[in-house]
Amino acid sequence: MRYELDARRMLCPMPVIKAQNKIKDLAVGDILDIFCTDPGALNDIPAWARINGHVVLETSEQDGDIVVTVQVNE
Amino acid sequence: MEEQHKAVALISGGLDSMLAVKVLQEQGIEVEGINFYTGFCVEGHTHAIRNKDKDKQKRNNALWVAEQLGIKLHIVDVIQEYKDVLLNPKHGYGANMNPCLDCKIFMVNKAVEWVKENHKNGFDFIITGEVIGQRPMSQRKQTMPIVAAESGADDILLRPLCAKNLPATKPELEGWVDREKLHDFSGRSRKPQMALAKKYGFTDYASPAGGCCFLTDKNYSDKLVDLWKGRGSREYEMDDIMLLKVGRHLRPKGEYKLIIARDAGESKYLEGYRKQYTSIQATSHNGPLALIDGDIDPEDYSHAASIVARYGQGRDADEVEVLVSIPNQEKQNLKVQPLSSEQVLEDWHI
Ligand code: SF4
């Protein structure tokens, strides 16, 4: 399943916390697109994912938002 | 096979907790980290709002530390619960609005809860990077047992960097950890930590000057106290504490204050608040965006606008046109004369 998370206007580490809490409820293989506006998320979400064993499939920009796509792995 | 005992470490992002974890990893103990976000934590990213800091490294130090150590990190949002710690600290405040001792007790208590929840996975003790005498308020010989007792952690709280100066804890008594290989650091000197960092090959670690959060900062604390005074209540929301980190804050009248962006980066950040706050920005000249926080009398819009105009390129003009945007209301165009620097009174600055 593919899900979306709105973390716009949140400053780090809130987007990471929101992503972490959402991913807790997802199944292995699920994909989460996290929409952020704090550029810090480009660094923090991938760092969080690496530490916790998840995979960042892509980081992109869409209409001024930063989108980090994570696949749940553990 | 001998049972594997695991520890959860309070990770602030600083060197001490990083070393504390490493000391235990050297003994073969598996550690996971926990980091609490109070809303006041020092974050590189909030500095990144400003243009001039754009090149500064953007990283979350707690995540960075965890990655260096190869441990998992759980970041916990404690913004709501932390309000009670900040507003009613049993042990009082430090030099500024920092309730460090209560804060430590609160965080260790949260870690105790976490250990209970994760006991089935082998977690049975807590470690911190505390060092006796390192910090005047929270890390003294007398406060170490207070943290252990009031947090409910008691003998499952181990401080690897100064354990030898303290009574043995359960992990030491039960032989899960070799007390001999722990440390006896004490005092304000950072030399022992730096030597240990060198031994482990840690470089590039963060060393925040004050502490782990904005509450140790005088300027920030002053703004927080002013906010409470201006509102006549000590309530605060996440937006309030974020906005205290941005812009210059001026209170020309008791009822309201102005938050004036200091550069384009801050203006852009404040844009996000225009739906919630009345905002002022010059239209005839380039100038910063300003938010109004508080109950402003509409008669004061002109005065507020003349202050804001002072900080834009129209500061020397006879007249500046400004737009006042009030959420869910008609926008107002005003023409004002910018105040001179003498007219912007010193005691308006918070
Ligand atoms: S500096 Fe801030 S986060 Fe650190 S112990 Fe003190 S109050 Fe808590």
pLDDT per residue as tens digits for the range B23-43: 999 999 999 999 999 999 876
Query: What's the rounded Cα separation, in Å, for the pair B240 and B276?
Result: 12
- The predicted pLDDT at position B177 comes to 97
8 A C-beta contact, residue B312 and residue B275: no
What's the gap in Å between B188 CA and the centre of ligand 1?
Answer: 17
Question: Per-residue pLDDT for B318 more than 90?
Answer: yes
With H, G, I as helix, E, B as strand and everything else as coil, classify residue B32.
Answer: strand
pTM value is 0.89
Give Cα A41 distance to the centre of its chain. 8
Is A36 labeled as catalytic in the residue annotation?
no
State the DSSP code for A58: E
Q: Lowest-confidence range among B154-163, B173-182, B332-341?
A: B332-341
State the DSSP code for B276: T
What's the gap in Å between B213 CA and the centre of ligand 1?
Answer: 6
Atom of ligand 1 nearest to the CA of B215: 2
B174-201: average pLDDT: 94
- The predicted pLDDT at position B58 comes to 66
State the DSSP code for B225: H
Q: Where are the alpha helices (DSSP H) in B97-232?
A: 100-118, 143-150, 170-173, 191-200, 218-231
- DSSP one-letter string for B149-179: HHTT-GGGEE-TTTGGGS---HHHHTTSS-G
Nearest CA to ligand 1 atom 2: B213
Query: What's the rounded Cα separation, in Å, for the pair B277 and B275?
Result: 6
Contacts of A50 in chain B (CB under 8 A): 67
Question: Per-residue pLDDT for B49 more than 80?
Answer: no
Query: What's the rounded Cα separation, in Å, for the pair B31 and B11?
Result: 11
Q: What is the residue-averaged pLDDT of chain B?
A: 90
- Smallest Cα distance from B45 to chain A, Å: 6
Task: Please provide the CATH number assigned to the domain covering A2-71.
Answer: 3.30.110.40
Question: Per-residue pLDDT for B47 more than 60?
Answer: no
Q: Lowest-confidence range among B63-67, B149-153, B166-170, B268-272?
A: B268-272
In this prediction the ipTM stands at 0.92
- Of B205 and B337, which is predicted with more confidence? B337
- Smallest Cα distance from A25 to chain B, Å: 15
Pocket test for ligand 1, best of B100, B146, B220, B224 (most atoms within 8 A of CB): B100
- Of B41 and A67, which is predicted with more confidence? A67
Domains for chain B: give ranges and CATH numbers: 6-215 (3.40.50.620), 246-348 (no CATH)
- B54: nearest CA in chain A? A39
- Of B137 and A24, which is predicted with more confidence? A24
B106-130: average pLDDT: 94
Pocket test for ligand 1, best of B213, B218, B224 (most atoms within 8 A of CB): B213
What is the arrangement of strands in the sheet containing A31-36, beginning at the earlier edge strand?
A: A2-7, A31-36, A65-71, A55-62
Question: Per-residue pLDDT for B89 more than 70?
Answer: yes
Q: What is the residue-averaged pLDDT of chain A?
A: 93
Question: Per-residue pLDDT for A64 more than 60?
Answer: yes
Confidence band, pLDDT 50/70/90 cuts, at residue B51: low
Nearest CA to ligand 1 atom 5: B100
Question: Per-residue pLDDT for B9 more than 80?
Answer: yes
Structure tokens at B112: 């105790």
A21-45: average pLDDT: 93
Question: Per-residue pLDDT for B3 more than 80?
Answer: no
Pairing of strands A31-36, A55-62: unpaired
Question: Per-residue pLDDT for B347 more than 70?
Answer: yes
8 A C-beta contact, residue B102 and residue B110: no
B12-16: average pLDDT: 89
CB–CB of A40 and B37 under 8 A? no
Atom of ligand 1 nearest to the CA of B210: 1
Give Cα B200 distance to the centre of its chain. 28
Contacts of B214 in chain A (CB under 8 A): none
Q: What percent of chain B has pLDDT over 90?
A: 73
Query: What's the rounded Cα separation, in Å, for the pair B32 and B18?
Result: 12
B66-94: average pLDDT: 95
CB–CB of B59 and A43 under 8 A? yes
Contacts of A45 in chain B (CB under 8 A): none
- Smallest Cα distance from B293 to chain A, Å: 19
Side-chain-facing half-sphere of A44: CA atoms under 13 Å: 31
8 A C-beta contact, residue B45 and residue B37: no
Contacts of A38 in chain B (CB under 8 A): 45, 48
Q: Delimit the domains of chain A by residue range.
A: 2-71
Confidence band, pLDDT 50/70/90 cuts, at residue B57: low
